[in-house]
Chain A
Amino acid sequence: MTENKQALPGHETQSSEMNCPSCGRFVGAVTKCPYCGAKVEKRMSLTATRWAAVLLATIGLFLLWLMAVKRDVPVVKLGDIQPTMNFAQIRLEGEVKTDARPFRTGMGMSFHFTDGTGAVIVFITKKQMDEMIENNLTPKAGDQVSFIGSLNVSDDQMSMRLLSVKEFHLTRAVAESVQLADITKKLKGSAITIAGTVTKLEVPPEESKRPYALQLKDASGEQVVNFWQAEYEQIENPDALPGANVRLRVNVGTYRDKVQLTLGSGLDLEILDGPPATDDSRTPAQQAAETYRKKAPPRDFSRGRAATAEAIPLSDITADKKGHTVRVQARVASVTPPQPDSKQPFAVLLRDGDTSLRVTYWSNVDERIADKPVPGALFEMEGVVDVFRDRPQLTVESGYKVRQVEAAPAAPEPVAIASISAADKGQIRTIEGTLGAARDLGKGTAYTLTDDSGAIDLILWHSTVPADVRTPLAEGQTVAATGTIGEYDGQLQLKANAGPSVYILR
């Protein structure tokens, strides 16, 4: 507003702080008059607002940053994700379903992930992809991963965008080492490790969409491994491939109903200095186990220690269930360790009533068993049903799957022979007495056991009582024998329990 003139529109109620108090000229928002240099006081609220804004913007942002940095990103199950979680930053923990595949443009890659409650595709940017390749963090099927990502949820699909490679934790799945001849269609979908000598590398013609074909040979046979240009460029020194000894991790698939091995990444191919070494440190039992394993039907590798198979009664285990993984619970009737330097497995006989089942496992499994099976103990065992000499048996693959449910009952106090009657049939009794002459039963040995009150036949079956228990026994020795009361031809008898059930007293 100027002197002698009407007020300009909006200036009718203009605050006095618009003008310099010294010269009267309009100064606006400044605090010092540009004309005369006088200080211009402003409304307190305006000054306070300015300071508040600056403090809020700086200190507040710092506090917010602290809050964000200290915050733990929540772990969320895919099954719990709701549409309102769109754009959420969450942590996922689970398993990689498919190998990470680069986009055709090369501007990133993606992989499928599952945590058991759902599945999601995870996108990775090019920079992240380059960093992951460099650090060998490229996810492969079966790998366990934990990562933070940003969620994108829409009506019909869901995806994640990886937020940080630094917080991408990966535990590689073990790729079973397999001989080339043992690769069959049954391994489809799995990743395996193979080794051998490259006999030929077929390079596809330019502009062709055909893959490279690496012909590999080992002691057992030959196979062809396919890969494309992207994988070829990842191989270190690909020119050295022909004739080289290599070890590589491949994916087993099928193409036109034939087995096809595919190299997922050039980094999975390792050129060796010499022929792939065989593992001579293994015990014969372990080597036997390896051989046995190769001939075994495909195993279900997806179950961990915590997962349990179907529990079925012993009597339901038949040859029809060959290849099935089952869980059984029964009393141990006998345990037969392998002979030294033999290729035999451990053999355990489980008995449930009139049904018995032979269980076998190798030394490496035995090493993992916490409570070793002993006759009389109640055990739960999980393994794969196999057929040996037309009879079903159970092969235990993991010592963690052998669990004692109930320990073997302690031997009862000795009783007089005269106190034993027909009512005691099936009961376990301990008798102390003197052995008579041994009688050969063919598959067992019988002795007359005599104490002060009477006499009873003591039966030692060769299949249940070990030879080292039977051999030292002789006529006239005083022994303590624990067994089950039975009856044969109207006569009571004591069938010695499996294992060391007869002790020489003197």
Chain B
Amino acid sequence: MSEFWIVLLSVSAGTVLMSVLSCLPGLHVYNLMGALVLGILALDGTSFAIPAMVYLPAFTGMIVSWAILNTIPAVLLGTPDESALFTVMPGQKYLMAGRGFEGTMITAVGGLAGAFFIVCVMAPLAPRYLPVAQQVLKGHMHWVLWIIITFMLMSEWPKGGNRGPAGWAKFFDAWKTLIAGVITFLLAGLLGFIILTRSPVSHVVAFQNIMPAFVGLFAIPWCLLNIISAASVPPQHTTTSLGINGDVVLRSVWSGALGGGIAAYFPIVTGGVGGMLAGHATAQRDERIFIMGQGVSKFIYYVGAFMLMFVPGLHLTRGGGAWMTKTLFTPLGWADYYLVIGCIAIAAAISYLMMEPLAKVTLKFINRFNYRHVSSVALAIILLMVLGVTGWVGMFIATVATGIGLLPVLFGSRRLNCLGILLLPIACNMSGFGETITGWLGLT
């Protein structure tokens, strides 16, 4: 079979497979990729060895499809419990208004717009301009992380303090959530220092060092809250029109591209931070732009970060997908770059086309099955994955991280503060005083 057909079949298979799996709540594409990398390494050198021409397009398809289709569980399977939550995300607002399908599809349009941006704008310009940017910005990554941390902490506004006379009582009522946010950030940072300096996870599977912590900080609390949540999903309606126009799309692209691009390019800055930046760069009063911008940001972060590894003359490793792929494959030149760009385009098209039927199937599913059961199954899968890859030590780390991850949701602060697990230790290391802190902690 010619390389063309191998690549086409691989990217299609990866896209379709991950599109379906993306509907499962709590499952992250990097978890699955990690397991696949282990399998590929195990088969390496045997008669069943998987060539790069097969796994590379498949990985690309997986990342693209997850970036677009992950919206389905994020919007449709995460019903907020009014007793537990202080605020509701825009996508979930659509769900509670019976417009979950619409919200999901608007986000998917954002993903597709992001694909256009990557293929038509980023791809031709990146090899020419990103090496210049890299040369200018090298040595400055540390303060970029610090200003992101500063903005993240300073931009969280108090949610309480809305009632009562002026005074300290009102002030403390307002600052409860902010203090919870700062404590979450610091605890997550402490967890990060431990894991990045002297991880208890076996060195044999160190490439998944951080996975138990991330699962505990984000995926498990999400599943747990869904399980204990009391709210029910109102009847959902599908629609044939999304009520968007070119202006909405373009505005979403510029804000999402900025946020997602920053997250993709700078190390450690993840999609959540990119989404926050995109949200702040968007006109808040048009929720369509906000939702679509989140879709653009998420796509550019995950897919753009992966693509950076292939940019000739740059070969930046950003994002978990790129780090895992790098253990198997080193991109060599323009052929690899064009291969990945082509795979992104094909996968984006397939993913978007699968969005509508999968969203409708999921809606039927949640109408028939209690979403708590779905979340229970997802939780079991996640826990098995942690146990299988990192063992009981990983389970312990996930448990501790779950405690930290539940704090923002239960006490009303921003979940983004959990990203302190990477932001704080890495920023300290880049600035040169990480070892001082780990010395105080007795880790070095």
Do A and B touch each other in the complex, judged by CB within 8 A? yes
| Chain A residues proximal to chain B, CB less than 8 Å | 9-10, 12-15, 17-18, 28-29, 34, 42-43, 45-46, 49-50, 52-58, 60-61, 63-65, 67-69, 71, 73-74, 76, 82-90, 105, 107, 125-128, 148, 150-151, 153-156, 163-167
With an 8 A cutoff between CB atoms, is B156 at the interface?
Answer: no
Contact call A76/B203, Cβ cutoff below 8 A: yes
Residues of A within 8 A of B198 (CB): 68-69, 71, 73, 89
Residues of B within 8 A of A57 (CB): 187, 400, 403-404, 406-407
Residues of A within 8 A of B210 (CB): 87
With A105-B139, A164-B435 known as contacts, the answer to whether A46 contacts B83 (CB < 8 A) is yes
Residues of A within 8 A of B232 (CB): 10, 13
A19 to chain B, nearest CB (A): 10
In the bound assembly, the distance between CA atoms of A503 and B396 in angstroms comes to 81
Contact call B83/A43, Cβ cutoff below 8 A: yes
Could you say which of B127-135, B223-231, B342-350 contacts chain A?
Answer: B223-231
Q: Name the residue of chain B whose CB is nearest to the CB of A163.
A: B444
In the bound assembly, the distance between CA atoms of A69 and B399 in angstroms comes to 19
Residues of A within 8 A of B85 (CB): 29
Residues of A within 8 A of B199 (CB): 68, 88-89
A311 to chain B, nearest CB (A): 37
In the bound assembly, the distance between CA atoms of A105 and B234 in angstroms comes to 61
Residues of B within 8 A of A42 (CB): 83
In the bound assembly, the distance between CA atoms of A55 and B199 in angstroms comes to 21
Residues of A within 8 A of B38 (CB): 84
Residues of A within 8 A of B407 (CB): 53-54, 57
With an 8 A cutoff between CB atoms, is B77 at the interface?
Answer: no
Residues of B within 8 A of A166 (CB): 439, 444
Convert B393-412 into 0s and 1s, putting 1 for each residue whose CB lies closer than 8 angstroms to a CB of A. Answer: 00011011011101100111
Q: Name the residue of chain A whose CB is nearest to the CB of B200.
A: A67
In the bound assembly, the distance between CA atoms of A18 and B84 in angstroms comes to 10
Contact call A83/B41, Cβ cutoff below 8 A: yes
With A50-B410, A84-B327 known as contacts, the answer to whether A64 contacts B228 (CB < 8 A) is no
A139 to chain B, nearest CB (A): 17
Contact call B228/A46, Cβ cutoff below 8 A: yes
With A9-B234, A85-B203 known as contacts, the answer to whether A65 contacts B403 (CB < 8 A) is no
Residues of B within 8 A of A83 (CB): 37, 41, 207, 327-328
A56 to chain B, nearest CB (A): 2
In the bound assembly, the distance between CA atoms of A84 and B37 in angstroms comes to 9
Contact call B326/A155, Cβ cutoff below 8 A: yes
Contact call B435/A64, Cβ cutoff below 8 A: no
What are 23 inter-chain pairs, A to B, with CB distance below 8 A?
A9-B96, A9-B97, A14-B231, A28-B83, A29-B83, A52-B403, A55-B403, A56-B402, A56-B406, A57-B403, A61-B191, A68-B200, A71-B198, A84-B204, A84-B205, A85-B203, A88-B206, A127-B432, A150-B196, A151-B206, A154-B326, A155-B327, A166-B439
A217 to chain B, nearest CB (A): 43
New A-B pairs, 4, CB < 8 Å, besides A49-B224, A154-B326: A55-B403, A85-B204, A87-B207, A89-B206
Q: Name the residue of chain B whose CB is nearest to the CB of A53.
A: B406
Residues of B within 8 A of A43 (CB): 83, 230
Contact call B444/A148, Cβ cutoff below 8 A: yes
Contact call B410/A49, Cβ cutoff below 8 A: yes
B203 to chain A, nearest CB (A): 4
Q: Name the residue of chain B whose CB is nearest to the CB of A14.
A: B82
In the bound assembly, the distance between CA atoms of A210 and B224 in angstroms comes to 67
B218 to chain A, nearest CB (A): 14
Residue in A14, A15, A65, A151 whose CB lies within 8 Å of B194 = A65
With A61-B400, A61-B404, A67-B200 known as contacts, the answer to whether A28 contacts B443 (CB < 8 A) is no
A73 to chain B, nearest CB (A): 7
Residue of A45, A148, A154 ringed by the most chain B CB atoms within 10 A: A154
Q: Name the residue of chain A whose CB is nearest to the CB of B430.
A: A125
Q: Name the residue of chain B whose CB is nearest to the CB of A83.
A: B327
B window 319-368: CB within 8 A of A = 323, 326-330
With an 8 A cutoff between CB atoms, is B238 at the interface?
Answer: no
Residues of B within 8 A of A155 (CB): 326-330
With an 8 A cutoff between CB atoms, is B197 at the interface?
Answer: yes
B window 92-118: CB within 8 A of A = 96-98
B77 to chain A, nearest CB (A): 16
A395 to chain B, nearest CB (A): 46
Contact call A153/B327, Cβ cutoff below 8 A: yes
With A10-B231, A64-B200, A83-B207 known as contacts, the answer to whether A49 contacts B96 (CB < 8 A) is no
With an 8 A cutoff between CB atoms, is B163 at the interface?
Answer: yes
Residue in A61, A87, A156 whose CB lies within 8 Å of B209 = A87
In the bound assembly, the distance between CA atoms of A63 and B403 in angstroms comes to 13
With an 8 A cutoff between CB atoms, is B146 at the interface?
Answer: no
Contact call A86/B327, Cβ cutoff below 8 A: yes
With an 8 A cutoff between CB atoms, is B171 at the interface?
Answer: no
Residues of A within 8 A of B190 (CB): 61, 65
Q: Name the residue of chain B whose CB is nearest to the CB of A47.
A: B410
The 8 A-B residue pairs with the shortest CB-CB distance in the complex, in nearest-first order: A56-B403, A88-B206, A164-B444, A60-B400, A53-B406, A88-B203, A57-B403, A83-B327
With an 8 A cutoff between CB atoms, is B167 at the interface?
Answer: no
Contact call B96/A45, Cβ cutoff below 8 A: no
Residues of A within 8 A of B203 (CB): 74, 76, 85, 88-90, 151
Contact call B432/A125, Cβ cutoff below 8 A: yes
Contact call A53/B410, Cβ cutoff below 8 A: yes
Residues of A within 8 A of B396 (CB): 60, 64, 67
Convert B404-435 into 0s and 1s, putting 1 for each residue whose CB lies closer than 8 angstroms to a CB of A. Answer: 10110011100000000000000001001101
A60 to chain B, nearest CB (A): 4
A117 to chain B, nearest CB (A): 16
